[in-house]
Amino acid sequence: MAGLEVVAGTRVHTLRLSELTTLKVGGPAEVWEVEDTAGLVNATAEPFLVIGGGSNLLVSDAGVSERVVRLGRSFNDVRNFAGQHDVWLGAATPLPGLVRRAQKAGLSGLEGLLGVPAVLGGAVAMNAGTRYGEMSDTLQEVELFVNGALERLPADALQLSYRHAVLPPGAVVTRARLRLTPSTPAAVEATLAKVDSARAGQPKVKSAGCAFKNPPGDSAGRIIDAAGLKGLRRGDAMVASEHGNFILNLGAATAADVVELVSAIRKELSRVGADLELEWRLWGF
């Protein structure tokens, strides 16, 4: 990180977004780390993008010209979550810790999110999940910073569906109210074990999760696999041999490599009449 500068309620860094994304590609940006409402007011005074865990992003090698707003530690409530079944949590709370703490407290509802390396705000914005459950199962209400002030909206207003939420333009999710269901640690652990085994075939190498959304009734990974594209490679970006919908960064991949690979996959799929929609959010293209 370079160029640390302090503006009320924020810390401003210039850094490469490869440092903040799980795919580890992406060029420079001015990152405004925000700790309070005054910080949000300052950070959002110019065009901005919001980053969560960076686990669903493909960022261009040239970076982005917008400010990148990142919620800081004061929005991370993982340690404040002590088994309340109806609870407001900050949007920078990491899901892995939350899922584990809910299990220990014997609270059910978050099991389907096991293995999703997001923070709560990003998981709400994407309605993250698996076939064992998604964010919408427990989300009751959100707090948003929008048009210079905080407001609350019921979860219904976000029209949550498969990997999709409708947020007001320019909104930053700051907190979310979740309602969990009392269960037992053992019962929750049993469900977690099922979710874990459903994910056993997924690669462990750097990625941004599944690149494409599943078309209704099918799996993008199965389609890419059936087209014989596993192992297809451009530079250090490669279609995983374990799962066709994961694009891996083998070490030194650039965004350009990843874009070329996505184009090559699409070209090959068009030969078999398949057209997949990207799940990733693209920044700077």
Nearest approach, Cβ of residue 97 and ligand EPU (Å): 19
The binder of 55, among ligand EPU, ligand FAD, none, by C-beta within 5 to 8 A per type, is ligand FAD
Give yes or no for residue 55 binding ligand FAD (CB under 6 A): yes
**Residue range at the interface with ligand FAD (CB under 6 A); choices 82-90, 128-136, 183-191, 251-259:** 128-136
CA distance 115 to 96: 7
Active site residue 16: no
- 209 interacts with ligand FAD by CB under 6 A: yes
The catalytic position among 100, 163, 177, 179 is: 163
User: What's the CA gap between 144 and 50, in Å, rounded?
Assistant: 12
Q: What is the nearest approach in angstroms of ligand EPU to the Cβ of residue 50?
A: 19
217, 223, 245, 268, 276 from 273: Cα distances, Å: 16, 11, 17, 9, 10
163 is catalytic: yes
CA–CA separation, 120 and 101 (whole Å):
14
Q: Catalytic one among 67, 101, 210, 234?
A: 210
242 HSE (CA, 13 A, CB side): 14
269 in Cβ contact with 224 (< 8 Å): yes
What distance lies between CA 18 and its chain's CA centroid?
Answer: 15
Q: Which spans of this chain sit near ligand EPU (rule: CB under 6 A)? A: 130-131, 198-199, 201, 209-210, 213-214, 219-222, 225, 243-245, 279
Q: Residue 278 Cβ, how far from ligand EPU at the closest point, in Å?
A: 10
Determine the Cα–Cα distance for residues 107 and 133; give it in Å rounded to an integer. 14
219 binds ligand FAD (CB under 6 A): no
Minimal distance, residue 21 CB to ligand EPU, in Å: 14
Contact 70, 33 (CB under 8 A): yes
Q: Which residues bind ligand FAD (CB under 6 A)?
A: 22, 49-57, 71, 91, 115-119, 121-123, 125-126, 128-130, 163, 167, 172-173, 207-209, 281
